[in-house]
Structures are given as C-alpha cells and as structure tokens.
A and B are shown apart, each in its own frame.
Chain A
Amino acid sequence: MGDQSKKGKDILSYVARERDEFITQYGEAPENVIAQRYYETAGEIVERCTKRERKLPETFTDKLDRIVCNRFLGPVILLITIYLMYQLSIVQGYNITNYTWPLLAAIRNFIASILPSEGFVFDPLLRAMPLGVIDGIIAVLNYIPIFVILFALIAILEDTGYMARMAFILDRIFRYFGLHGQSVLPLVLGGIYVGGCAIPGCMACRAIKDEKARLATILIVPLMNCLAKIPFYVFLIGMFFAAYKGLAMLFIATITIIIALSVSKILSLTILKRKESAPFILEMPPYHMPTIGGVMIRCFERLWLFVKKIITVIIIVMIIVYALINFPGLNQERKVYYEDQANQSIQAFYEEIGRDSHYAKVLAGAKLMEFIKYNDDYKSAKRGAKGEEGELIINQKFQEKNFDFFKIVKKGRYEVDGEKVRDKDAEKVYKAYKNLERMRKGLRMDKKEETMIGSYLGWAGHSLEPITKFAGFNWKINIGLISSFAAKENVVGVLGSIYQSEEGETLEERVAEKEKGWTPLHALAMMLFMAMYPPCIPTLLMIRVEAGTKWMLLALIYPIILGSGIAVLIFTGGNLLGFSGLQAMIAFYILAIAFMLTMGFIKKKSEIL
C-alpha cells in the first residue's frame, strides 16, 4: 500500500506541476479549457446532426415567462400561488382530517378495547402507556391528508417548471439572508403568516439544492407560527392586548419572519460557513403539463418515506415523554386519598339510588365498572350512528347486550314488546350516575394534574423558576411550556388543568383571578418565547431525517437560548424602562427590523450577486 500511495503522490505532484506550467503558458486554467472544449464539441455535433427548419417562433414558454417573470406581475402571481398552496394543503387538508380523524379514533378505540380495562380512578399501566404512545402516533398520522395534498402540489409545481421561476423571483432578496429562492415554500408551509406546520415545511426543504441554504431553511422553519401555537397567542392576546387585538396578531405574525431572517443570516455566517453553497445555476425549463401518474408516484413515495421514518422513532419518544409526565407518580398517602374519595362517591351513589333497589344489585361491585364501559361504548356508538335507522340498530344491539344497563342509559324510557315504558327508578339511577360520572372525571383530572406536578417534568418546572423569573415565567408556566414540547397544542390544555377552578369559568377568568400580578409584559415575554420555542418532537424527528442528529440538536438548543434571551429582554428590560406592553412591543419590533436590515447588508467577500 505504501508503495501505491507514494506513486499516487508522485502523480499528484506531477499534475500540480503541469497545471502550473499550463497556467503560466496559456494564462488559463486547464478546467476552463476543458469546459470550453465540451461546449465547442457540443456545438459542432449539434451543427452536424440538426437542421433548423425555420426561424425560431416564440414558444409558449417564452410567452408565459414574459408574464410570470415580469417584474411587477411576477411577485403577484407568486403570492397567489403561495396562497393557493397554503389554502389547499394546510386549510383544506385540515378540513379533510375531520373525515379521517374518526377512522384513526376508531383504530385507537379498537386498541383500547383489547387492552386491560380502565379503573375507576387509577388505570393499569399496561393500558395507560400504550394508549399514550398510540395517541402520539395518531396525532402525527392525522397530518397525512395535508401531506398527500402538499406533496402532490409540490410535484406539480416541480413538473410544470414553475418552481424554478419561483426561486428566480425570490432569490435576490433571500440571498441577502443566506437563503435560497426555493426557501420560500418551506417557510410558507411552516406558517410564514400564521397557521402552518413545521413538519411539511422541513420536508419541503428537500427541493433546495444548495446545501447551505437548505440547512439554514430547515433550522428557521420551526420559528414560523404553526397552527398549534395559535391558541396560546389567542389566549394571551385576548387577556392582555384586548384593545389592540389585530395589531398584536400582526406583530406576532410578522416578527417571526423578521427574526428568522436574521437568524438564518447569523447561521450562514457562522455554523454553516463551511457548508457548500452550490454555484447558482438556475435553469428555466420549458413549461410542461405534468402527468397524473408521475405526480402520484412522487407524492406517495415521499409519503411512504415519511410515515416509515416517523413511526419508528415516535414510539420510543412517546414512551419517554409518558414516563416524564407520569413518574415518579403519587405517593402511597395520596393514592389512598384518591381511592377514599372514589369510594365515598361510589357509596354516595348507591345511597342515592337506594341500597336495596333492583338497580343497586344490577350495578353492584365490579358490575359498576362494566356499566361505565357500557355507557361510554353506547355514547360513542351513538355518535357514530348514521340516521334513525342506524340508531335503531345500535339500540337493538345494546339492548341485547344488557337489558338492565340499557334501561339506565335510555334514562328509563324504553320499549318492551312494542310498548313504551317509563321506568322512574332507572331515570333516577341515570341522574345519580351523571353525578358519579362528574365526580369521577374530576378525581381523574385532579390525579392527573397532581401526578404531573409531582413528576420529573413538574420538578423541572419548579427548579427552572429561579432562572425563568427574569422572563416572568412562574413554575406553572414552565410546566406548560415544557409539556408543549411534545406538541404545542399542549400548553393551553396544561395551563387549563393547572389553573383548574369552578365550572363555567373560562381559562382567561381563572388565570386573571389567580395571577393578579400578571402584566402585559408577562404576556408579551411568553408570546415571544412561544414564537421562538424549540420545534415539537415530531418536527425534531423530521429534522433528524432531513439533516441528521447534529442539526436536530442545534434546532433544539438555539431556539431555547434565543427565546429566553428575547423573553428576558422584554420582561426585565421592559420593567427597567417602565414600558407598557404596547410600548415594549413597538420598541422590540423596531429593534428587530433594524437588526434584520443590518444583517442583510453584511456580505461575505466571496458572495457575488
């Protein structure tokens, strides 16, 4: 081997010598001569083998390009196209999920039915954990209609040749920020205004040929406002910026892209500096009519790749998340407390319906749990029933299954041999059961909340408080924010359960009652932190698929630092300067725009536009 490599070295040094000599002699690098010869030879061959019949007429492509790439019309058409893509995939896709969701829910219910059945307050681990994992999986599978539409539309854009025009129009602006013309589609899908999803956004980055711009885009797509962040914004704006709702929404929708552009520039000047930036060759291919088969094949092969990758990883992740939220769990004393509470409400229930009544016997002991399941099944079956006929069939089925139970769920109104019966006892049992059901739900909720507060996650929320207080976050907010890492929708739900209170009050009212010290500055800091918030777990997995583990970790860590920095700046800085929420908002906006413009003008020496 040593001999060989020595030879290799000899050859290389020979090449280097010859190259130098060539350059001094002809004033030109050999590669230029080589490329030139390619072009010349191609020209010669074409000359020899082709005949031009007539003068080139203006092609359809040329005509269309005069409109599509027009300096003024171009951007307008581009905006319309982007808007349509967004409407069709994200908005319509979400509508379709209304139809596909019951299907997924049915699968979930089927799996739930074969797992060990639930307890009155405490569910067996073998039930709770698999269901937690399945919920995570179907939450991701729920996006599939969006992906089908999206991938098909992308394939159409690529095949028609419009994608290249899109890149051409936007490239000039985006280059200033280390991005590429093709970065626009991922950003739109991620929610450049409001309401997107980072997963299809990251996926769409595949189309970007320039490695540097591709990574930069993947890293900033999660900064966009995905649909799941919206409820949290709406909640805080409704509470603290009620007078300027529109303005606040516009602020949060546009500040993200302003920050994202700066971030992208910083990334491309630092971490991504060494990544290759492909020489910018943009070809305007002639417009083609895409073939249905081609579009379908491309759409489904991408979909399959996505499903395969995501599903395998998400199972592991969901198990870990489940453990973090549920362990170490309640101590013995609290467990006993909840069991006591449960027993008391069950005893009260029997008391109410009369201990010796017929129905008390029907619902005695384990039969009560059986009835709870029966009732739930009946309710979900009725929800799925189609028309009166369907309802009749369901009634028939449940009546056969257990007539006594049936009498109760029908509130005492049923038929025997075609005659209508009104069973006062059953009606009473039904009412008592409604009470019991409410008690049970409350207990389960309390238990869930207490478990979470005592869990590793809750511990993390508490121990972060000394730091996060500079951003204005207390430990409850911390828990909400941390839990939203699994999926951003969580934050409002979790806050809802932490700030649980009397029925009928909205979350806004409850929070206002319990956190009297909150100011709009708190809210603004939270909103901006949420905007910068690290990608949710499914998005991180997608980033890992698209870019690798290293980039996934970066995508996880930098938004935390950035978000915390901004939140502290708003909260502590705002307080020091005595700003109101609105003043802080405007001041920050101006600051961000100034920073973005500065970043845009920094140019690397090698960058020639």
Chain B
Amino acid sequence: MSKKSNEILVAVAGQPNSGKSTIFNCLTGARQFVANYPGITVEKKTGIYYYKGDKVVLVDLPGTYSLTSYSLEERVARDFLLHENPALILDIVDASNLERNLYLTFQLLEMDIPLVIALNMKDVAQRRGLQIDTDKLSRQLGTAVVPTIANKGKGKEELRQAIWETYKNRNSNYIPFCINYGKTLEPILTSLKKQLSENQNLSKSYSTRWLAVKLLGNDSEAQKLV
C-alpha cells in the first residue's frame, strides 16, 4: 500500500439552529480541537475523521444567516472560505426551514466551491407535513443532498460517503447552480465579470461571478479585495 492518503479540508457551514454542531459532533466524535480564530473571540472548532484511508478535516464555521460583512461571525466564515481553500463545503440545511436556509446555500454556491448539503431534521419537517423530494432538490441545485437526522445519528455514513465522492469528483465538469438575477442585473454582471477575469490575480483566487455580485451589492469587504 503505497497510496498516499489525502487530507480533505471541509468547511462546515449552516444557519444558526440548523443542527450544525450536532452534525459536526456526530461526524467527528471526540476528535475535536477548539481554538479561537486568530485575534478574535470567535471559537474555531476543528474535527477529524478517516474515511476510506483519507483524512477528513472538518472546520466548523460560525453559524450565520448569510455571508455579507455585517457581523464578525459572517466575516470569519467568509474569510475562511475565501482564503483557506477548503476542498468542499458541507452545508447544513434545516429541512423544516428549507426556504430560509437556502438563502445561505445560494451564497455558498456562488463561491464556486464544491458543496454537499446535509438536509437535516427531515423528521421534523415530515411531522409538519412537509415532504421534500431529495433527488429533485439535488438535481435543482446540482449538488449532493443527504437527508440526515443528526440527533439520532441517522445519515452519518451516507454523508461521509457523499463528502468523499464529491471530493473525488471535484475536477469533473461540475456545474454549480446559478441564480438568475434577471434582465436588469445580468447584463451588468456579465460585463463586470469579464473585466474581473482580465485581472489575473483576482480571477485566480476568487470566483469572478461571486465577486461581481458582491461588488454590485456594495459589499465593503469585496471592495477591499479588488
């Protein structure tokens, strides 16, 4: 066995109360390390597990509703995704609050990092009479969607499998879901995206579409990047 094992860096994102920590604990068990993000008091939790010979390193991002630059937590989460180059994002989505949770999912998708969705608390959604077609959702978003019930440990293996597969297929023709911003914004975005692509430094480090959207949205942190 001379196969070199990989280290897969996974950023775990999700809105508050989506069950993010429960899934994090369930995936990594006791192998966790807590530190603060450098210089600030936001806790940074790292956990490790091994799957099919690969080491998977999970980093728990602060729970945020979106990825603007309003609060410390949002900035921390965003900076991690931008600068630490995670191989993929595990997005925890509360099935019983699907519509609102997708708001964050869209922003994550825009960052052009492979995504795996854990559709958590499906049981709660079901009890509320909400049936979610997981396959359809997966096709719509162009990502793996794994139903989980984290507090009962359900879906753990499937999630590990999905993370691993998404990682292995990361270089295949992955077409992320794109929000259509409508005929008023799209032309401006396209032209801006073209200008950004000409700048080698920027286009190498960031998704140009994401940057274009953020710049038009008057995002102060994005302006600093340019």
Which residues of A pack against B, CB within 8 Å? 4, 7-8, 10-12, 14-15, 18-19, 22, 26, 29-31, 33-34, 37-39, 41-43, 45-46, 48-57, 59, 161, 206, 209-211, 276, 278-279, 281, 283, 285-286, 288-289, 291, 293-294, 297-298, 301, 304-305, 545-547
Please, which residues of chain B bring their CB within 8 A of the CB of A210?
71
CB distance from A149 to the nearest CB of B (A): 20
A41 to B107, CA, bound (A): 12
Asked if B82 CB lies within 8 Å of chain A CBs, one says no
CB distance from B124 to the nearest CB of A (A): 7
Contact A56 B129, beta carbon cutoff 8 Å: yes
Contact A41 B129, beta carbon cutoff 8 Å: no
Asked if B85 CB lies within 8 Å of chain A CBs, one says no
Please, which residues of chain B bring their CB within 8 A of the CB of A55?
129
A49 to B96, CA, bound (A): 13
Please, which residues of chain A bring their CB within 8 A of the CB of B4?
none
Contact B130 A276, beta carbon cutoff 8 Å: no
A196 to B137, CA, bound (A): 51
Asked if B61 CB lies within 8 Å of chain A CBs, one says no
27 pairs of residues in contact across A and B, judged by CB atoms under 8 Å:
A7-B198, A8-B226, A15-B215, A22-B188, A29-B218, A30-B188, A30-B216, A31-B216, A33-B181, A34-B213, A38-B107, A38-B179, A39-B103, A42-B99, A43-B99, A48-B140, A49-B132, A52-B130, A53-B130, A209-B73, A210-B71, A283-B17, A285-B17, A294-B25, A297-B25, A301-B43, A305-B34
Q: Contacting A11 at CB < 8 Å: which of B129, B185, B215?
A: B215
Please, which residues of chain A bring their CB within 8 A of the CB of B217?
30-31, 34
Q: Contacting B131 at CB < 8 Å: which of A53, A161, A291?
A: A53
CB distance from B119 to the nearest CB of A (A): 10
Main secondary structure of the interface of B (DSSP, over half): helix
Asked if B196 CB lies within 8 Å of chain A CBs, one says yes
Interface string of B40-51 (1 = CB under 8 A from A): 010101000000
CB distance from A225 to the nearest CB of B (A): 26
Closest A-chain residue to B136, C-beta based?
Answer: A49
Please, which residues of chain A bring their CB within 8 A of the CB of B107?
38
Contact B129 A52, beta carbon cutoff 8 Å: yes
Contact A19 B216, beta carbon cutoff 8 Å: yes
Contact B16 A285, beta carbon cutoff 8 Å: yes
Known contacts A37-B181, A39-B103: A297-B32 contact under CB 8 Å: yes
Contact A30 B199, beta carbon cutoff 8 Å: no
Asked if B70 CB lies within 8 Å of chain A CBs, one says yes
Please, which residues of chain A bring their CB within 8 A of the CB of B133?
49-51
Asked if B102 CB lies within 8 Å of chain A CBs, one says yes
Please, which residues of chain A bring their CB within 8 A of the CB of B226?
8, 11-12
Asked if B223 CB lies within 8 Å of chain A CBs, one says yes
CB distance from A555 to the nearest CB of B (A): 15
Contact A46 B16, beta carbon cutoff 8 Å: no
A468 to B32, CA, bound (A): 52
Please, which residues of chain A bring their CB within 8 A of the CB of B184?
22, 26, 33
Asked if B182 CB lies within 8 Å of chain A CBs, one says yes
A211 to B41, CA, bound (A): 11
Which residues of B pack against A, CB within 8 Å? 16-17, 21-22, 25, 30, 32, 34, 36, 41, 43, 45, 65, 70-73, 96, 98-100, 102-103, 106-107, 124, 128-133, 136-137, 140-141, 151, 179-182, 184-185, 188, 192, 195-196, 198-199, 201, 213, 215-219, 223, 226
Contact A48 B136, beta carbon cutoff 8 Å: yes
Closest B-chain residue to A547, C-beta based?
Answer: B41
Q: Contacting A33 at CB < 8 Å: which of B30, B136, B185?
A: B185
8 further interface pairs, Cβ-Cβ under 8 Å (given A30-B216, A46-B102, A53-B131): A8-B226, A12-B215, A22-B185, A37-B181, A37-B182, A38-B179, A42-B103, A206-B43
Contact B98 A50, beta carbon cutoff 8 Å: yes
CB distance from A608 to the nearest CB of B (A): 16
A41 to B104, CA, bound (A): 12
Contact A14 B129, beta carbon cutoff 8 Å: no
| Listed residue (B45, B136, B188) with the most chain A CB atoms within 10 angstroms of its CB | B188
Please, which residues of chain B bring their CB within 8 A of the CB of A51?
130-131, 133
A14 to B199, CA, bound (A): 14
Q: Contacting A301 at CB < 8 Å: which of B34, B102, B103?
A: B34
Q: Contacting B201 at CB < 8 Å: which of A4, A10, A57, A546?
A: A4
A145 to B196, CA, bound (A): 56
Please, which residues of chain B bring their CB within 8 A of the CB of A14?
192, 195
CB distance from A292 to the nearest CB of B (A): 11
Contact A38 B131, beta carbon cutoff 8 Å: no
Contact A30 B218, beta carbon cutoff 8 Å: yes
A209 to B198, CA, bound (A): 39
Q: Contacting A50 at CB < 8 Å: which of B65, B130, B188?
A: B130
Please, which residues of chain A bring their CB within 8 A of the CB of B192?
11, 14-15, 18
A56 to B126, CA, bound (A): 11
A217 to B45, CA, bound (A): 25
Please, which residues of chain B bring their CB within 8 A of the CB of A286?
17, 96, 124
Contact A57 B129, beta carbon cutoff 8 Å: yes
Q: Contacting B216 at CB < 8 Å: which of A4, A34, A39?
A: A34
Please, which residues of chain B bring their CB within 8 A of the CB of A48?
136, 140
CB distance from B102 to the nearest CB of A (A): 4
Contact A46 B99, beta carbon cutoff 8 Å: yes
Please, which residues of chain A bring their CB within 8 A of the CB of B219?
31
Contact A56 B140, beta carbon cutoff 8 Å: no
Please, which residues of chain A bring their CB within 8 A of the CB of B32?
297, 301
Contact B151 A8, beta carbon cutoff 8 Å: no
Contact B99 A12, beta carbon cutoff 8 Å: no
Contact B181 A56, beta carbon cutoff 8 Å: no
Please, which residues of chain A bring their CB within 8 A of the CB of B188?
18, 22, 30
A39 to B98, CA, bound (A): 11
A559 to B212, CA, bound (A): 49
Please, which residues of chain B bring their CB within 8 A of the CB of A545?
41
A68 to B189, CA, bound (A): 47
A431 to B25, CA, bound (A): 64
| Listed residue (A19, A26, A49, A298) with the most chain B CB atoms within 10 angstroms of its CB | A49
